[in-house]
Amino acid sequence: MALETARVPTANGARYLQQLCKHWSHKLDVQLSENEGIVRFPAAVATMKADPEALTVSVEAQDDETLQRMKGVVASHLDRFAFKEAPLPFEWSKG
């Protein structure tokens, strides 16, 4: 499994993860609480946790190619909901 995580500075992380999880809940398996969301894609899992200063996003996939693609999907969708702040500064790191 391949895993990368980014801590994205934003005061609106909880709102963005709520919007994104609700958006994807129509077609995907989503678990959502006030400050945490998990989205299960067919080939990957995205986990998001918000605190007052940032949104931490982790993406896990079976291989690196899928991981890179899904990081792009998650980041581009978050940027759509964060249009006032976009593009959000994703600095991905392994692990």
What is 7-60 written as a DSSP string? EEE-TTHHHHHHHHHHHHTTTSEEEE-SSEEEEE-SSEEEEEEE-SSEEEEEEE
pLDDT at position 6: 98
- Whether residue 92 lies inside any domain: the answer is no
91: in domain: no
Is 89 part of a structural domain of the chain? Answer: no
Residue 47 maps to a domain: yes
**Main-chain phi, psi angles of 48, to 5 degrees:** -130, 135
The answer to whether residues 2 and 68 touch, using CB atoms and an 8 Å cutoff, is no
Summarised one tens digit per residue, pLDDT across range 9-54 is: 999 999 999 999 999 999 999 999 999 999 999 999 999 999 999 9
* Average pLDDT of the residues of the chain: 96
Q: Return the pLDDT at 58.
A: 98
Instruction: Quote the pTM value.
Output: 0.94
Give the model's confidence band at 95: pLDDT under 50 very low, under 70 low, under 90 confident, else very high.
confident
